[in-house]
Structure 1
Amino acid sequence: MNRRNFIQSGALLSGGLLISFTILKANKLAALADTADLNVFAPNAFLNIGTDNSISVYLSHVEMGQGIWTTLPMLIADELDVDLKKINIKHGGADKAFNHVIYGAQITGGSSTTWSEFDRYRNAGATARTLLLQTAATRSGIAVESCKTEDGFVIAGSKRYTYGELANDAAKLPVPAKVPLRSPADWKYIGKGSKRMDARVKTDGTAKFGLDIQFPGLLTAVVAHAPVFGGKVKSFDAGKAKAVPGVREVVQIPTGVAVIADHFWAAQQGRKALQITWAHGAGVQLNTGIQTAAYRKLAASDGLLVQEKGDVKAAFTKAVKTISAEYVFPYLAHAPMEPLNCTVKIENDSCEIWTGTQLPGGEQAAAAKILGFKPEQVKVNIPFLGGGFGRRATPACDFVSEAVHIAKASGRPVKMVWTREDDMKSGFYRPFYVHNVKIGVDKDGLPIVWNHNIAGQSIMADAAVLFGPPPAIDDTTVEGVKGSPYLDEIPNHFVGLHTTKEVVPVLWYRSVGGTHTAFVMETLIDQLAHDAGIDPVEYRRGLFKNHSRHLAALNLVAEKGNWNRTLAPGRFKGIAVHEAFGSVVAIIAEVSVEKGVTKVHQVDCAIECGLAVNPDGVKAQMESGIIFSISMAMYGELTFVNGELQQNNFYDYRITRMYEAPRINVYIVDSKEKMGGAGECAVPPTAPAVTNAIFAATGKRIYNLPIVNNRLEKQA
């Protein structure tokens, strides 16, 4: 640990015990590791016990609503034997010491925080407890085996020491290579659930988000971006903008023209007054209708091999019946509730940044490059994130880079703010995709051959700056089809990929490939079940016979959601099951369709995620993912005409309103399986469960999202 890391950890007390823990070296996003390998010790995030009895936990990942502000400290609280509510929690800042143990970069994503940190945080707590016990034993003169901890104290015979009393001496002891972890029987928090540690500050208004950053002399900046992706400033006249009261300066940056003012209103009015001539470039040729036709043509042919088994061509000659389907999925915006923002202050040879980011190390490196600094000259402060969904994990570091360019060009501390319209029209999107699938079934209605092709952009190509050149097959595009348990049971199948290139920038989106692949797989399986005259649950059970986790989630939701119950008149149900991020989620959606309008009344959800460290947090993430998916399925769509995006804000890029939200019941499978994630895995199966229920209601299959674009009159 270097001096800067020590200072950054906040360990500037009158002494204390600072515990650091493991970081594994890894280079590839797709690499997976067994959590049993995460037990070695090396510098990373820190647990600090001060002589004043303060206990601070520094998070190696960022809190953006997913609940790790609570879950990670729970792990330390159980091993350290302290009251969770007495722990001070802080974001760790930007440092390579905080690199993800699998991805090799400092990132919060992939629903990976809890499982990747489970052993590391427990070991940090257990190591501190071991050193405190050893210190107390030495002071009291009794055997360490006779000492015990109890709620922030070490009891050694008749002596009772606070952790703070022992911290300095404990810090001088050699760190043991291996420490005993508490057994599940001794856990007070893990697996039991806990109220969120950030709930109070987020409800009483004292929580600090990026938009809340303020200090004397800070100005506000907004940026005029090209109306077409790839466009550049040809010329501009700032005269009228500078005449707006409160506007201080107008500067050109690589991505547009920035207006700097005393406050946001003045900056906005100044931007409206700007006169800019744009060189649009090839981006003006982008039209959604033309793009759809081109992708459909691509997907109609076999792409680059992703997965193959058997003889597909021969198998189709033996099929009793064939089914063909084509699916179209539009671009989608992340649309977090807190618009993007970044505050930058440059003084002499240092830069300080305040921003809500999922990639603090990347932002630090990007800022340093722009300024000609070393990374250690850039400090990144991380407030709470008002939603991320992947948008704040941009390898290009777009919005932070803009803010640094503005501060550098103007010589002033600035808070750069993107309006929601800015992010909608100038951001990064879930890619546009088309799937083309042909299936052959036997006399029992079971699939014997499956030919599946996908056309779409590569997210990993845009992430090359972070993870290096992308492979020929971008797994983020095909995940959910590649490795599907359904395909495991089909003796003849082919999966192909056509990777396209567009001027539109793309980025991972909550549940990434599962946003479209799960929809295709689960609606087609549902279609096959109905065509065969077999109950959709029973049909899936047959295909899951060799997949115990899928079967466990399916059976639990069928039982708790009472799949076989008779519904009220006008109500219909659909089901879907999908594995993502190491967990399996099964969804039953209950809907009605009246005058072509769909309402989702109830959703039952079962998750098989291994150990649920915080069951309350898992349930909250299931609820969140379900609502997110309903918004995506019902309304989500971005369209282009002559290169210009047609959507602007929530009035024409709708999300689910409170009155539209269904009742949600969440059930967690009691499991001993390897731990998976929770933040994203309810998104993929919810949309197909809803449209499978719509089919039950109307007899109409939906192949193009969003749902509102489909006519849903009941079929004859």
Structure 2
Amino acid sequence: MIPKLMQSLTLSAPRIETSRRQFLIGALAAGTGIAVGFRLLTASPAAAAETAADDGAHAFSPYVTIDGDGKVTVLSSQFEMGQGSYNGIATLVAEELDADWSTIEVKGAAGNVQAYGNIAFGGAIQGTGGSTSMASSWERYRKAGAAARAMLVAAAAAEWGVDAAEITVDNGRLAHASGKSGGFGEFAAKAATMPVPADVTLKQPGDWKLIGNGKLKRFDSARKANGTEQYTIDVKLPGMLTAVMIHPPVFGAKVKSFDASAAKAIKGVVDVVETPRGIAVIGEHMWVAIKGRDAVTVEWDETAAEKRGTDELMSMYRDLAENPPAAVARKDGDAEAAFASAAKVIEGSFEFPYLAHAAMEPLNAVARMNEDGTLEIWGGHQFPDVYQRLSAEIAGIAPEKVRLNVMKSGGSFGRRAVFDGDVVVESVYAAKAIGFRAPVKVQWTREDDMHAGRYRPAYVHSLKAGLDENGKLVAWDDHIVGQSIVAKTAFQGMIQNGVDPTSVEGAHNLPYAIPNQTVGLTTTDVGVPVLWWRSVGSTHTAFAAETFLDEAAEAAGSDPVEFRLSMLEPDSRHAKVLKLAAEKAEWQKPLAEGRFRGVALAESFGSVVAEIAEVSTDGNGGIKVERVVAAVDCGLAINPDQVRAQVEGGIGFGLGAILGEEITLTDGKVDQGNFDMYTPLRIDAMPKVEVHIVPSANPPSGIGEPGVPPIGPAVANAAYKALGKRIRVMPFSKTLNA
């Protein structure tokens, strides 16, 4: 759903309508090598020629470069935050190029929406999110690899005086039956002068060596394992200063006054400056900046601040959930009449807390004004077009004078896809406040991230289900109460008829054949900043729906798997995935004493995942998740091992959230500061995970997020069998420790 919604964005940058037919392959000389990219048909020939003669930016930007030494560099439109998008895109290029996998490198690219706009978002914006990286890259990066290959072959044919059709390419080398051969690097410069192929023929699946290869190792695994991979936290520039922020203690507060005299007296503290986002304490290094921050006294204006705590907010949500919804997201049939005539009606209320993203690398960014008037920014640029525009406005320069260095990030889970630039603009504000006399890195601490972050919204669901005398589910009603992620942002246009689709996704599109359904939404106005969190709306909708379906199955006296299958088309993706999971988990086979199973099914980001969790009791009224069997249909699996890794990671991520994670507020202040109070999953609690991929010839769909939604309800359904308790309030600890 998210990709479709992103196509309705209203941003200051011009909207660009794109389709695969609008891309033409182009090439230009790049030093001693070749650069292959795409030019939009909307660019005039004269403009394209002028740009190509200049530096290849804007109307013509390369996706693939091959150097004289044979090194292949892929310029990725997608941000790498650990999910493996760089590896997937590299696979697409290397497959069609027939490159030597050991020569592949990938770098992040930005600053050219025409070349790098996310096709799944309609091309309007460059962005990484909604698990769209492979869907957006699937065709264009393969075409780039195929074009580069054709031009290398043409160059070798001209050099050797042979027919291009007689040349073979394998593992980074070109060869001819005459015995002539050479590596890519030998022909890179000449290839740049070859005519651009009017069209390219992509390989057939039977000819693939890398795509779908389950044994292909990630090209970047070694440096991630040995610590040589570079992240924004590792950036060190000559003369660079480090800034830490003092954010408001409650959301919506503003600086009234501050006294920095004691801080400035500390050796190594360079300056203390006010910005629209708080106070930046700038030092020669981070430790002295933190010492300086501790010495600053601030008086805050809390007139417009959010002062309510979690208890007050959730009490309000519960009351709202019992009233009619403010907007309707789905209405099929006549649910009211169906409930009135139902043989059995069950009801339940579900509560979900605020959640932090808690990525391994806290937020950071580096800003430097260069002598030529360009502003250079290093960071995890998940929405680079947005950050480029905002930074330009702050610095008072044209957007094209802002150069973004797209760094790899130690996690994001949606956290770096922000509307207001967040830490990126903080770095520009801080550097500007000292007259851009030195590069400035703004580095958040873990406590900054917890206290001043953005959170998965809190929600309450009020659910009702009606069954007829045969145990068939005939009526369903879900009233969802919570904050909108996109309200009052540049993404406001996503809200239609009062419905923020990110609040109801996974609920308003249930795959089950229930003749009478209503899904309502009441959006609250709360000052706590919220943001998409890995799998967005499905983090709560899947839990509410799939646990309540188990309650309905019990009320009907039906097996949970059979109950779901009875409402699915037999040949549907959902049915196939559910059957595969049940088969691999041996659902019908009795478990060993003390073991209990639960099942859940969810579709998100174009992929369908079923998970069956096996739990045991811990002897203290709690449970331990022992095993999870997952079946996934994510279209064609470009990197099967990466698909498995993402599902495994999603299960761990989601499991931590439902077992013990929550952000709470007291009088508007966030209570949690570090991992002593906010408790992600510990390694000893990670279950054994088996992932089974449904073979598919369909284009790839999402995989970074779809593993998260089913794990919570699968475990909750198993926990009910183990303990006899229905878990309706997150995290589990609130119920199991009660």
User: Does structure 2 conserve the Cα–Cα contact (< 8 Å) formed by 1:480 and 1:580?
Assistant: yes
Letter in 1 for 2:92: L
Q: Does 1:457 align with 2:483?
A: yes
Structure 2 counterpart of 1:30: none
Question: For structure 1, which segment, 447-456 or 12-21, has the greater mean C-alpha deviation from structure 2 after superposition?
Answer: 12-21
Structure 2 counterpart of 1:181: 202
> How far apart, in 1, do the equivalents of 2:304 and 2:387 lie?
29
Deviations 1:311-340 (A, max 9, x none): 122111210010111111111111101000
Note closer, same or farther for the CA distance 1:171–1:467 as it changes in structure 2 (3 Å cut). farther
Note closer, same or farther for the CA distance 1:22–1:680 as it changes in structure 2 (3 Å cut). farther
User: Does structure 2 conserve the Cα–Cα contact (< 8 Å) formed by 1:244 and 1:270?
Assistant: yes
Q: Does 1:92 align with 2:92?
A: no
Structure 2 counterpart of 1:61: 78
**How far 1:461 sits from its partner (Å)?**
1.7
User: Does structure 1 conserve the Cα–Cα contact (< 8 Å) formed by 2:514 and 2:567?
Assistant: no
User: Does structure 2 conserve the Cα–Cα contact (< 8 Å) formed by 1:310 and 1:492?
Assistant: yes
Q: Does 1:101 align with 2:119?
A: yes
Q: Does 1:477 align with 2:497?
A: no
User: Does structure 2 conserve the Cα–Cα contact (< 8 Å) formed by 1:431 and 1:456?
Assistant: yes
User: Does structure 1 conserve the Cα–Cα contact (< 8 Å) formed by 2:135 and 2:701?
Assistant: yes
**How far 1:245 sits from its partner (Å)?**
2.8
Query: Which of 729, 734, 737 is residue 704 of structure 1 equivalent to?
Result: 729
- Structure 2 matches for 1:65-80, cutoff 5 A? 65-80=82-97
**How far 1:466 sits from its partner (Å)?**
5.5
**How far 1:538 sits from its partner (Å)?**
1.1
User: Does structure 2 conserve the Cα–Cα contact (< 8 Å) formed by 1:137 and 1:156?
Assistant: no
Note closer, same or farther for the CA distance 1:546–1:481 as it changes in structure 2 (3 Å cut). farther
Note closer, same or farther for the CA distance 1:79–1:509 as it changes in structure 2 (3 Å cut). same
Structure 1 counterpart of 2:675: 650
Note closer, same or farther for the CA distance 1:128–1:347 as it changes in structure 2 (3 Å cut). closer
SS at match of 2:150: helix
Note closer, same or farther for the CA distance 1:117–1:284 as it changes in structure 2 (3 Å cut). closer
Gaps of 5+ in 1: 1-8, 26-40
Query: Which of 307, 315, 318 is residue 296 of structure 1 equivalent to?
Result: 318
Structure 1 counterpart of 2:168: 148
> How far apart, in 2, do the equivalents of 1:483 and 1:139 lie?
58
> How far apart, in 2, do the equivalents of 1:405 and 1:285 lie?
27
- Structure 2 matches for 1:153-552, cutoff 5 A? 153-158=173-178, 159-193=180-214, 194-300=216-322, 301-348=324-371, 349-411=373-435, 412-462=438-488, 464-465=489-490, 468=493, 470-471=495-496, 472-486=498-512, 489-545=513-569, 548-552=572-576
Note closer, same or farther for the CA distance 1:672–1:59 as it changes in structure 2 (3 Å cut). same
**How far 1:546 sits from its partner (Å)?**
5.1
Structure 1 counterpart of 2:47: none
Letter in 2 for 1:176: P
Identity %: 45
Letter in 1 for 2:340: T
Deviations 1:74-106 (A, max 9, x none): 111111111112112211233323121122211
> How far apart, in 2, do the equivalents of 1:567 and 1:22 lie?
59
User: Does structure 1 conserve the Cα–Cα contact (< 8 Å) formed by 2:359 and 2:413?
Assistant: yes
Deviations 1:361-410 (A, max 9, x none): 22221111101111121111122200000001111111111111011001
SS at match of 2:736: coil
Structure 2 counterpart of 1:3: none
SS at match of 2:490: helix
Structure 2 counterpart of 1:33: none
Note closer, same or farther for the CA distance 1:118–1:42 as it changes in structure 2 (3 Å cut). farther
> How far apart, in 1, do the equivalents of 2:370 and 2:158 lie?
49
> How far apart, in 2, do the equivalents of 1:623 and 1:453 lie?
31
> How far apart, in 2, do the equivalents of 1:186 and 1:441 lie?
52
Letter in 2 for 1:672: A
> How far apart, in 2, do the equivalents of 1:669 and 1:199 lie?
26
User: Does structure 2 conserve the Cα–Cα contact (< 8 Å) formed by 1:83 and 1:152?
Assistant: yes
User: Does structure 2 conserve the Cα–Cα contact (< 8 Å) formed by 1:133 and 1:147?
Assistant: yes
User: Does structure 1 conserve the Cα–Cα contact (< 8 Å) formed by 2:609 and 2:630?
Assistant: yes
**How far 1:619 sits from its partner (Å)?**
0.4
**How far 1:187 sits from its partner (Å)?**
0.9
Deviations 1:397-452 (A, max 9, x none): 11111111011001332111111111111111111111111111111222111121
> How far apart, in 2, do the equivalents of 1:712 and 1:427 lie?
28
Note closer, same or farther for the CA distance 1:215–1:42 as it changes in structure 2 (3 Å cut). closer
Deviations 1:480-539 (A, max 9, x none): 0111112xx111111111122211111111000010000011001111112222111111
User: Does structure 2 conserve the Cα–Cα contact (< 8 Å) formed by 1:60 and 1:91?
Assistant: yes
Query: Which of 573, 582, 585 is residue 561 of structure 1 equivalent to?
Result: 585
**How far 1:200 sits from its partner (Å)?**
1.0
Letter in 2 for 1:586: A
CA RMSD of the aligned region, Å? 2.1
> How far apart, in 1, do the equivalents of 2:459 and 2:471 lie?
28
> How far apart, in 2, do the equivalents of 1:604 and 1:207 lie?
32
SS at match of 2:710: helix
Structure 1 counterpart of 2:7: none
Deviations 1:459-489 (A, max 9, x none): 1225x32575643321111110111112xx1
SS at match of 1:62: coil
SS at match of 2:566: helix
User: Does structure 1 conserve the Cα–Cα contact (< 8 Å) formed by 2:354 and 2:458?
Assistant: yes
Letter in 2 for 1:160: S
> How far apart, in 1, do the equivalents of 2:358 and 2:571 lie?
35
SS at match of 2:417: coil
Letter in 2 for 1:635: G
Query: Which of 685, 692, 707 is residue 660 of structure 1 equivalent to?
Result: 685
Q: Does 1:588 align with 2:588?
A: no
Letter in 2 for 1:179: V
Gaps of 5+ in 2: 1-25, 43-57
Structure 2 counterpart of 1:628: 653
- Structure 2 matches for 1:596-607, cutoff 5 A? 596-607=621-632
> How far apart, in 1, do the equivalents of 2:81 and 2:27 lie?
22
User: Does structure 2 conserve the Cα–Cα contact (< 8 Å) formed by 1:75 and 1:190?
Assistant: yes
Question: For structure 1, which segment, 467-476 or 107-116, has the greater mean C-alpha deviation from structure 2 after superposition?
Answer: 467-476
SS at match of 2:315: helix
Note closer, same or farther for the CA distance 1:532–1:382 as it changes in structure 2 (3 Å cut). same
> How far apart, in 1, do the equivalents of 2:62 and 2:655 lie?
37
> How far apart, in 2, do the equivalents of 1:444 and 1:421 lie?
54
Note closer, same or farther for the CA distance 1:682–1:45 as it changes in structure 2 (3 Å cut). farther
User: Does structure 2 conserve the Cα–Cα contact (< 8 Å) formed by 1:22 and 1:120?
Assistant: no
Query: Which of 670, 682, 693 is residue 718 of structure 2 equivalent to?
Result: 693
Note closer, same or farther for the CA distance 1:696–1:425 as it changes in structure 2 (3 Å cut). same
Give me the TM-score of the superposition, normalised by structure 1.
0.93
> How far apart, in 2, do the equivalents of 1:502 and 1:327 lie?
19
Letter in 1 for 2:441: K
**How far 1:712 sits from its partner (Å)?**
6.0
**How far 1:673 sits from its partner (Å)?**
3.5
Letter in 1 for 2:365: C
